[in-house]
Each structure stands twice: as C-alpha cells, then as structure tokens.
C-alpha cells in the first residue's frame, strides 16, 4: 500500500522481484559461508533468523474444492514479503518485528446485530467447524500476487453460530492494536487499529475464509496470527490480520485504506483488471518468484462471486 502521492509506481515495481530475490540469495550466501558453521545453524536461519517462530501443526480435515491447482508460492516468500503496517511499512519489516508479538491468550468479540453475541477464545473459534486447506490466489493492490495454502473454514460458519438479525447488512472487522507491542504503528501513516468491512452477503459467501494457519501450521505472526480473514477475490488489504473484533451492523462500516485515501481505495476493492488504480495499472501482476508478469483475472479468477455484484457499476463501486 502506498500513501505518498508523489510516488508513481507501486512498491513491487520500485524494487523488482528478481532484484529482491537476488539480494536474499546473496545474503544467504554471504552469511552461510562466513558464520554458518560457527553456530551450527542452517543458511536459511541465518538469512532469516525470524522464521517459524511458535508454529504449531494444524491438522486439516479436508482439502477444499475451492483450491487452485496453481503452484504454491514458497513459504519463505509468503512469510518475508508482507504488508502488516503495525509492524512497519517495509515488506521485510513484519517478519523481523513481529517475532515477539503475543498472540496467546487471544479472544475475538462478536457483537452488534446478532441474537447470540459472544466472545470466543481462539481455541473455541478453531473448533467451530472442520479446518480445511484452501489454496487461494492472493492479489495485493500493489500488483504482486502469491498462492497460499491457507487453513481455516468458511466465515459463514461463525456467522451462523451468532445468528445475525435481519437488520444486519454489513460486517465490520477490527485488528488488534497495542502501541507497546507495535511501536512502529504510530509511523504507519494509517489510522490504527486497522479496520475492514464486508457486505453481509460477501461475508456469507463460502469462499470467505476465517483463517488460522498456512502451510500446515498455525499462522506466522507476520501473516496475521492467530486468526485473520482471507477474501480471495478482493485486493489483499481487505484480508484483515490479527482479528479481535467482529460487529454486525446496518450501515457500511469505515475501512482503513478508504479512510486514508478514498480516491484510491474503495470499500469493495474487488480485483478488477479493467479498473486501474489512479497511479498504476491493475491489468497485470507479478507472482512472487516469477519473472514475467501475468494477466490479472476479474475477481482474481473467482467467477463464482460475480452474482454478488449484478447490476452494480464496478467502476463506481471500486
């Protein structure tokens, strides 16, 4: 995400992926040759000392028919090229700065226009429905993309548990925020806590995932531990991390990036190659680790959501 108005291109283009990857290979090589043997650590651990902190195995009941068969992006890329502004605005910042993030105990409060408001511990939440592995394409508004084997279940299972009232039309989400745990948050350039929202029918769509893990394990801190949303047909910033509050409401809720820059970031933010960002094209994307850019697909290829938007002008409702 970008805030500076004078910048003309997204971050992914400022630092091309191949440069970024080469720099990492270089780091791995240098550290590996010099200090590697000393500590008896692997090359990887030296280059990326933060990886695989606190990961716990998550057993998955089923593979999902929603999964893409496209090649999964390497774990190291998914966990070291992140947007999580609470832990810094650089792509490598969250992996470095979220290592000591306290994610236990953790609870999620569900309130608002529901018959059965409730605060769930994350352990309770995890048991509400069988966990599935869902391999989704994930497309950032900055025109890079990844393919991730998420673990979770359809968010609709949680909604059913709390019984939304007929007046409920939207779902508002809020991330955890603690200035002491997230000192860089004050310099993020966005208002925190991070907030997001969906229309109720979007939230009810089976593709909308309440997510607890990836790559067979609990979520790494930098990817939104211990629980986040994943909405695969929308730009990545809709997929709010480290969720603590869910509220069913009647009116369209405020959302962080729309508040920060309403001209550039709308409420819907459906992936749409035909509607450019004011400062760059959305027609193509760079899949992390790939050299050539690929075409971006309408709804990120999730055509099954198209009926949610019939009759809507997606240029106005960007």
Ligand X SMILES: Nc1nc2c(c(=O)[nH]1)N[C@H]1C(S)=C(S)[C@@H](COP(=O)(O)O)O[C@H]1N2
Chain contacts with ligand X (rule: CB under 6 A): 1, 82-86, 138, 140, 175, 194, 223-224, 236-237, 239-242
CB closer to Mo ion, 83 vs 154: 83
Determine, following the binding rule CB under 5 A, whether residue 236 of this chain makes contact with Mo ion.
Answer: yes
Distances in Å between the Cα of 275 and the Cα atoms of 103, 270, 297 are: 37, 10, 12
Residue 175 binds which entry of ligand X, Mo ion, none, CB below 5-8 Å type-dependent: ligand X
Determine, following the binding rule CB under 5 A, whether residue 36 of this chain makes contact with Mo ion.
Answer: no
Distances in Å between the Cα of 84 and the Cα atoms of 61, 127, 132, 199, 222 are: 29, 26, 24, 23, 7
Residue 82 binds which entry of Mo ion, ligand X, none, CB below 5-8 Å type-dependent: ligand X
CB closer to ligand X, 28 vs 82: 82
Cβ-proximal residue to ligand X, closest one: 236
Q: Give the nearest distance from C-beta 283 to Mo ion in angstroms.
A: 17
CB closer to Mo ion, 50 vs 256: 256
Binding marks (x or -) toward Mo ion, 61..90, rule CB under 5 A? ----------------------x-------
Which residues, in sequence order, are CB contacts of 299 under 8 Å at separation 6+?
Answer: 233, 270, 271, 272, 305, 306
Reference 142, options 286, 315, 293, 317; nearest CA is 286
DSSP secondary structure code for residue 40 in this structure:
T
Q: Which stretch binds Mo ion (CB under 5 A): 166-174, 184-192, 237-245, 274-282?
A: 237-245
d(CA 113, CA 247): 7
Which residues, in sequence order, are CB contacts of 197 under 8 Å at separation 6+?
Answer: 170, 171, 172, 173, 252, 253, 254, 255, 267
Residue 86 binds which entry of Mo ion, ligand X, none, CB below 5-8 Å type-dependent: ligand X
Determine, following the binding rule CB under 5 A, whether residue 126 of this chain makes contact with Mo ion.
Answer: no
**Helix (H) or strand (E) run with residue 118 in it:** strand 118-121
Q: Give the nearest distance from C-beta 238 to ligand X in angstroms.
A: 7
d(CA 272, CA 315): 9
- 135-154 positions binding Mo ion, by CB under 5 A: 140
CB closer to Mo ion, 150 vs 237: 237
Residue 223 binds which entry of ligand X, Mo ion, none, CB below 5-8 Å type-dependent: ligand X
CB closer to ligand X, 205 vs 238: 238
Count helices and strands in the chain by DSSP H and E runs: 10, 13
Residue 101 binds which entry of Mo ion, ligand X, none, CB below 5-8 Å type-dependent: none
d(CA 97, CA 93): 6
The residue from 176, 237, 265, 302 that contacts Mo ion (CB under 5 A) is 237
Q: Give the nearest distance from C-beta 168 to Mo ion in angstroms.
A: 27
| Count of residues that interact with Mo ion, criterion CB under 5 A | 4
CB closer to ligand X, 45 vs 92: 92
Q: What is the dihedral of CA 157, 207, 132, 1, to 10 degrees?
A: -110
Q: Do 172 and 199 contact (CB within 8 A), yes or no?
A: no
CB closer to Mo ion, 155 vs 237: 237
* Interface contacts to Mo ion, rule CB under 5 A: 83, 140, 236-237
């Amino acid at each position: 995400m970008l805030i500076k108005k004078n910048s003309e291109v997204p971050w992914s283009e400022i630092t091309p992926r191949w440069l970024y990857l080469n720099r990492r290979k270089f780091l791995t090589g240098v550290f590996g040759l010099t200090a590697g043997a000393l500590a008896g650590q692997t090359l990887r651990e030296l280059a990326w000392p933060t990886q695989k902190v606190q990961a716990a195995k998550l057993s998955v009941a089923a593979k999902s028919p929603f999964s893409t068969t496209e090649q999964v992006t390497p774990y190291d890329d998914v966990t070291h090229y992140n947007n999580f502004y609470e832990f810094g605005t650089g792509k490598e910042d969250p992996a470095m700065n979220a290592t000591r993030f306290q994610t236990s105990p953790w609870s999620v409060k569900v309130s608002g226009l529901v018959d059965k408001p409730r605060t769930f511990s994350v352990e309770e939440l995890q048991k509400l429905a069988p966990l599935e592995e869902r391999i989704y394409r994930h497309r950032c508004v900055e025109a890079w993309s990844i393919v991730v084997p998420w673990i979770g279940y359809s968010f609709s299972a949680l909604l059913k548990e709390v019984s939304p009232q007929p007046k409920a039309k939207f779902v508002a989400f809020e991330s955890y925020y603690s200035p002491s745990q997230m000192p860089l948050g004050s310099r993020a350039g966005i208002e925190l806590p991070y907030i997001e929202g969906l229309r109720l029918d979007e939230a009810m769509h089976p593709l909308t995932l309440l997510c607890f893990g990836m790559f067979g394990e609990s979520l790494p801190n930098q990817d939104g531990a211990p629980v986040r949303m994943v909405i695969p047909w929308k730009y990545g910033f809709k997929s709010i991390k480290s969720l603590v509050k869910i509220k069913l409401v009647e009116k369209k809720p405020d959302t962080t990036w729309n508040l920060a820059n309403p001209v550039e970031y709308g409420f819907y933010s459906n992936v749409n190659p035909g509607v450019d960002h004011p400062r760059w094209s959305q027609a193509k994307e760079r899949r992390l680790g790939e050299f050539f850019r690929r075409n971006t697909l309408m709804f990120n290829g999730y055509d099954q959501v198209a009926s949610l938007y019939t009759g809507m002008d997606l240029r106005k409702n960007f």
